[in-house]
Amino acid sequence: SAVISQKPSRDICQRGTSLTIQCQVDSQVTMMFWYRQQPGQSLTLIATANQGSEATYESGFVIDKFPISRPNLTFSTLTVSNMSPEDSSIYLCSVGDRASYTFGSGTRLTVV
Amino acid sequence: GNSVTQMEGPVTLSEEAFLTINCTYTATGYPSLFWYVQYPGEGLQLLLKATKADDKGSNKGFEATYRKETTSFHLEKGSVQVSDSAVYFCAPSSKSTFGDGTTLTVKP
Neighbour tally for A28: CB within 10 Å = 11
Beta strands in A14-97 (DSSP E): 19-25, 32-37, 43-49, 56-57, 68-72, 75-80, 89-96
Chain B hits for A1, CB-CB cut-off 8 Å, are 46
Neighbour tally for B94: CB within 10 Å = 18
B57 touches A: beta carbon within 8 Å: no
pLDDT at B81 over 70: yes
Q: What is the pLDDT of residues A95-105, one digit of tens each?
A: 986 667 788 88
pLDDT over 70 for what percent of chain A? 97
Q: Are A28 and A74 in contact (CB under 8 A)?
A: yes
Query: 3-state class of A87 per DSSP?
Result: helix
The residue type found at B16 is E
Chain A hits for B89, CB-CB cut-off 8 Å, are 42-43
Neighbour tally for B61: CB within 10 Å = 13
Chain A hits for B40, CB-CB cut-off 8 Å, are none
Q: Are B2 and B24 in contact (CB under 8 A)?
A: no
Interface contact flag, B98 A48, Cβ < 8 Å:
no
CA distance B98 to chain A (A): 6
Q: Between these two residues, B95 and A95, which has the higher pLDDT value? A: A95
